Amino acid sequence: MVTEPAVRPDQVLHALGQVMDPEMPAVSIADLGMVHAVRIEGAAVRVTLLPTFVGCPALELIRQRAVHQIQQAAGTPIEVDVEFSTAVPWTSGRIAPECHGALRTRGIAPPSLTPPARGAEPIPCPWCGSLGTRLESWFGPTACRAIYYCRACRNPFEAIKFA
């Protein structure tokens, strides 16, 4: 007799869509493109995530929240293994285009959909849309973000680096 798994892959993906990034709570780890693989092995779930930055201090918190959400989705105690892998590098191109608006509403400029050229055009301000922006610091609050300043609305903002 074959028993059904406690949870389906689509339920796991939905659960991971509920795990918000601790450093950018406007988007989930699924929206950020961190979910690399989901495997159901009997009553166990194996998830591979790609860290946005290898030294990210939030990885353990993300792991704990992912395990919790998957166990909630299963509705029954199951084994959940969440691992981080750098075998495939995360890039900002993995961020779902539909979540760019959520980033902008939080004052974070999403990455360009194409790699910037040397001396690239300015990043649009997430607050007013102006291209009259300048890079203030390549080193933002996290390794994946930089600080910009908008000359039009006079607000600083963060921008996700193209990786």
For residue 45, pLDDT over 90 is answered with yes
- pLDDT category at 1 given cuts 50, 70, 90 is very low
Domain spans, the chain:
9-90, 98-160
In this predicted model, which residue has the larger pLDDT, 139 or 61? Answer: 61
Out of 23-37, 56-70, 96-110, 113-127, pick the least confident. 113-127
For all residues of the chain together, what is the average pLDDT? 89
Rounded CA separation 119/96 (Å)? 26
Q: Residue with structure tokens 């493109």?
A: 33
CB 70 within 8 A of CB 80: yes
- Predicted pLDDT at 70: 97
CB 29 within 8 A of CB 63: no
Architecture of domain 9-90: 2-Layer Sandwich (3.30)
What proportion of the chain, given as a percentage, has pLDDT over 90? 67
